[in-house]
Structure 1
Amino acid sequence: MRKINLYTLDTPYREPLTIRGYEFGRADAPKCVAVVGSMRGNEVEQTYVCADLVRRLGTLEEKGAMDPGRRVLVVPSVNAFSMNIAKRFWPVDNTDINRMFPGYDLGETTQRIADGLFRAVQGYDYGIQLCSFYLPGDFQPHVRVTDAGPISLQSLQLAEAFGFPYVVAKKPSSFDTTTLNYNWQVWGTHAFSVFVRDMGSLSTRNADEVEDCILRFLDDRGVVKFTLPGGFRSTRLDEAGLVDVRCERAGGFFLRDVEPGERVRAGQTLGQVLDTGDAHVKEMLTAPLDGRVFFCHVDPLINQYTIAFKLAPETTWSHSQ
């Protein structure tokens, strides 16, 4: 294992921002897999998954259970500045590094950071990014592939090797074209966005589950010799097929009755919205159909029209071919 500095940005008021990575395999070996962790300051779980993955890969390398002819790079954190002060985005101008790719080395600060990172992770056969969603909450852990052309069709098939419960196919919106995942694919890398159960907290149980899935993929690609029991026969979903359950009438205290992964029936109570003055029930949130809970809002307060749950309908479930 080699600890390397991938990119350094001088700053006028603090120490330089340095993006560090951990490299496995021979330095002259072909680039095989790059794993990128947090780009946002509240992605604590994503950083931990990568850091613990470095530890596990280091142990496998010491035991001779990694192919030295395949280079693996793990980057636990890209945005340490924001994490240090508990800000989600770049603290100076509140911009999102993961909306700046492929980057610009003479541009604004986050464009330069994106450029420096992309140069370091470009050219790998496979790219894995530990992501968070724009809505804070708990997910059923899964892997997503954004449609960026013909390469994405093969990526969807390769995604089964992770052994996540779900492989989600996503049609790109306009802002997706400036993400790391999309640009990886444009430049010929099979890119996968891995979503952990939650963010902002730390659960070693959740992290172990995601790390095991990444190691399964590495085993499938011949990078490690490490067979893990378990895993799922992945169900493929189109993101557009997920059904939103919103808080329609008013905001208030939010109490949920279900967890991600639970099977629910049409009409079943999913959660309640309570008045913040006298705690009477303002709205009962119910399942509009049979399915499984894919996403849950977790904050104790919820605003009107906010998505409280996302359900995977039973009628859209199909195993990948």
Structure 2
Amino acid sequence: MREIEICDMPSLYRDNFRVKGYVFGNGKKSVSIVGTLRGNEYQQQFIAARMIKRLKELEAAGELNEGYEVLVIPCANAYSMNTKKKFWSIDNTDMNRVFPGRTDGSTTEMIADSVFKVTKEYEYGIHLASYYMVGSFLPHVRIMKSQLSYFEESVGFMMPYMMIRDPRSYEKKTLNYTWQEAGVKAFSLYSSQTDGIDRNSAHTIVRSILLFLKNKGMISTEILGGYTECGILEEEKRIIPIRTSHAGFFVPKVKVGFEVSKGDLLAEIHDLYTDEVISELKSPVDGVIFFMHTAPMTYSQSAVFKIIV
């Protein structure tokens, strides 16, 4: 393992702000893995740390095959994590909306530029992503549509679901999309958790990345588990959002991964002052709970569930 410096810039009050990377193997620049871009991504930081530990063990055991180089950048936004803020602590910028960055831009743009310049040299890019809304997902791999065509390669992760989606305008400044613009085959991996640590879900993501490396011939060790079939989801066709009609306390009656039938009770909305039930959310379809809102309260017209049909 080699430790490299991705970014180093002066700080007003403390030691310099630095972004570190950990390089394993040698040869073709094969896979870069990027962890935390937001200050609340504790699960993504944990997954990246577990990947570094596992790759270090594989390299020491001689099970990282010759001719391949893997890079892990566990965290690119330590300031926000230190201050317990989701976005950049100085100006509230979302770092995953400023890629590919600029050398003469704002602080987050300069950090994004440093990360992008290093990682765009790799054939594959894996981003340990989080959702913009508070909630829990079924673990899955996601690809945004672009000029590249490599959807079939996502089966190498042996995850239960792969989602393909058209990028929204604001998503064209994300790491995933700009990687693809640079010719990198980009994947976003979603865990069940973001602002807490779920070790079982983290293990699923680490195993999936190792399975991908195994299936690409980059590691020689045996990796157990994984799904032999991958459900391909197009968000516009197979994902049904369920929205609230009222604001209030959110009281779910199901969990992510549950199979539901049309008419099943998904959640109740309780009045914020009296705790009376003011709305019931029932499933309009038969399907599987793919995403669920996890904050204690919700606004009106918020998508609190997404169901696979």
Q: What TM-score, normalized to structure 2?
A: 0.97
Report matched runs for 1:155-170 at 5 Å: 156-170=151-165
- Given candidates 85, 88, 107, the residue that maps to 1:87 is 85
2:296 is the counterpart of 1:293: no
The superposition leaves residues 147-166 of structure 1 with CA deviations (integer Å, 9 ceiling, x where unpaired) of: 111x2x21x10001111111
Distance 1:282 1:101 in 2: 43
**In the alignment, which residue of structure 2 is the partner of 1:271?**
267
- Given candidates 55, 60, 65, the residue that maps to 1:62 is 60
Distance 1:14 1:109 in 2: 16
Q: Verify the 8 A CA contact 1:39 1:97 in the aligned structure 2.
A: yes
Report matched runs for 1:95-106 at 5 Å: 95-106=93-104
Letter in 2 for 1:50: A
**In the alignment, which residue of structure 1 is the partner of 2:300?**
304
Distance 1:187 1:300 in 2: 40
Distance 1:79 1:231 in 2: 31
The superposition leaves residues 16-69 of structure 1 with CA deviations (integer Å, 9 ceiling, x where unpaired) of: 11000110012xx11000000010000000010010110011111111110131
**In the alignment, which residue of structure 1 is the partner of 2:132?**
134
CA-CA distance at 1:14 after TM superposition: 2.7
Q: Verify the 8 A CA contact 2:192 2:198 in the aligned structure 1.
A: no
**In the alignment, which residue of structure 1 is the partner of 2:167?**
172
Secondary structure of the 2:143 match is: strand
Q: Verify the 8 A CA contact 2:241 2:303 in the aligned structure 1.
A: yes
The superposition leaves residues 70-104 of structure 1 with CA deviations (integer Å, 9 ceiling, x where unpaired) of: 00000110000000011011111111111111111
- Given candidates 239, 243, 251, the residue that maps to 2:240 is 243
Letter in 1 for 2:291: F
**In the alignment, which residue of structure 1 is the partner of 2:9?**
9
CA-CA distance at 1:264 after TM superposition: 0.7
Identity among equivalent pairs (%)? 36
CA-CA distance at 1:176 after TM superposition: 1.6
Report matched runs for 1:214-225 at 5 Å: 214-225=209-220
Secondary structure of the 2:131 match is: coil
CA-CA distance at 1:5 after TM superposition: 1.2
Distance 1:108 1:14 in 2: 19
Q: Verify the 8 A CA contact 1:24 1:68 in the aligned structure 2.
A: no
Distance 2:29 2:286 in 1: 44
For the aligned residue pairs, the C-alpha RMSD in angstroms reads 1.0
Distance 2:211 2:136 in 1: 23
CA-CA distance at 1:228 after TM superposition: 2.2
Distance 1:13 1:93 in 2: 16
CA-CA distance at 1:229 after TM superposition: 2.5
Q: What TM-score, normalized to structure 1?
A: 0.94
Letter in 2 for 1:246: R
Aligned length: 307
**In the alignment, which residue of structure 2 is the partner of 1:34?**
32
Q: Verify the 8 A CA contact 1:102 1:118 in the aligned structure 2.
A: yes
**In the alignment, which residue of structure 2 is the partner of 1:183?**
178
Structure 1: gaps spanning 5 or more residues = 314-321
